[in-house]
Structure 1
Amino acid sequence: MSKTKKKPGSNVIAQNRRARFDFHIEEKFEAGLVLLGWEVKALRAGKGQLTDCYVVFEKDEAWLLNCQITPLQSASTHYVVEPTRKRKLLLHRKQIDKLMEATEQKGHTIVALSLYWKNHMVKCEIAIAKGKKQHDKRETEKQRDWDRQKGRVMRQANS
């Protein structure tokens, strides 16, 4: 009896690339998400977006706002769906306290970086972030361009 292994692939559903450009990422956390059935089906089809997504706290609970999950036509025929509803994040009490403390500091916010599969569950990677100034963004672009140029020079030198 031979078991066929699943081909290794990407577990990432959606990424917020803009967050890495607009913010300095200080500390990352992994959080679970409370989802409805149609949302899980839509995420399996790759219908999730994290642009402009952030975390707020209400009554000592963490909530994910502006995470858009577009419903599938076949899976959500008998539901009244709201693609950008707020979704509860599942975190430990110590993690919630640490995140709440960080948001009280000036200039810090909690942003969602990515949605991904871990076994059969959907996880959300969130981070404590501090906003970049315009000159910081320019510096990031210059560093990225320099790294690209260095790679080209090294490849030419090796050939």
Structure 2
Amino acid sequence: MGKSKNTKRKPKVPDTTIVVNKKARHDYFIEDTFESGVALQGWEVKSLRLKKVQLVDSYVTLKDGEAFLLGCNISPLDTTNTHTIADPSRTKKLLLHKRELAKLFSATQQKGHTCVCTKMYWKNHLIKCQIALAKGKQSHDKRATVKDREWNIDKQRIVRQANR
């Protein structure tokens, strides 16, 4: 018997995620997310291809109707040009629509709200940054989150053992 024609393999989709800021989900309640472009230099793009970036302490500031990413550390490659000065913690401009900027600006004026970068990823040939409108967690909120997560794991374990 021959093989059926429906056994074609699907091509693997490459992982487009460059880096995820797990600390942001731990420290903040994520209320809304936006996708923004990032204005980068050539050496930064090459470093991002090798995933040499850290988002742990990064945040977004809004001034003069523009958004900027601060605290994002992109390590330069050893092969970077010597005639350009590679600043790893350079302020990067974020590319957003005016209505998105207005929404972010009005939301960050409220007490306890801020903007953080939660993820950087490839979209086709462009590098995108996921910006989150977030509210800071208190230490008791963080403990409650950990407690809920552990309880969910225990529930799954109990259900698996009951099904055996």
1:141 corresponding residue in structure 2: 146
Residue in structure 1 matched with residue 104 of structure 2 by the alignment: 99
Q: How does 1:117-132 map to 2 (within 5 A)?
A: 117-132=122-137
AA partner of residue 41 (structure 1)? K
Secondary structure at the counterpart of residue 32 of structure 1: strand
Q: Deviations over 1:103-130 (max 9, x none)?
A: 1111100011000000010000011100
Can you give the 5+ residue segments of structure 2 that lack an aligned partner in the other structure?
1-9
Question: Given residue 43 of structure 1, which amino acid in structure 2 is its aligned partner?
Answer: L
SS at the partner of 2:13? coil
Q: Distance in 2 between matches of 1:8 and 1:97?
A: 35
SS in 2 for 1:155: helix
Contact kept? 1:54, 1:111, Cα under 8 Å? yes
5 Å-filtered alignment, 1:52-67, equals 52-67=57-72
Q: Quote how far apart the aligned CAs of 1:38 are.
A: 0.5
Between the aligned residues of both structures, percent identity stands at: 52
Deviations 1:46-98 (A, max 9, x none): 10110111000121100000001001111343321100010000000000000
Which sits farther off after the overlay, 6-15 or 61-70? 6-15
- Give the Cα–Cα distance (whole angstroms) in 2 for the partners of residues 7 and 104 of structure 1: 44
1:41–1:75 contact (8 Å) kept in structure 2: no
What is the TM-score normalised by the length of structure 2? 0.91
Q: How many residues align?
A: 155
Q: Choose from 39, 42, 62 the match for 1:34.
A: 39
Cα drift, residue 156 of structure 1 = 1.5
User: CA 1:81 to 1:6, structure 2 compared with 1: closer, same or farther past 3 Å?
Assistant: farther
Q: Paired residue for 1:47, among 33, 49, 52?
A: 52
C-alpha distance in 1, partners of 2:77/2:21?
Answer: 22
After TM superposition, the runs of 4+ consecutive aligned structure 1 residues lying more than 6 A away are none
1:108 maps to 113
Q: TM (normalized to structure 1)?
A: 0.93
How far apart are 1:6 and its partner, in Å? 6.1
* RMSD between aligned residues: 1.3
Question: Using the alignment, how far apart are the partners of 1:36 and 1:6 within structure 2?
Answer: 32
How far apart, in 2, do the equivalents of 1:139 and 1:76 lie?
49
In structure 1, stretches of 5+ residues that fail to align are none
| SS of alignment partner, residue 55 of structure 1 | strand
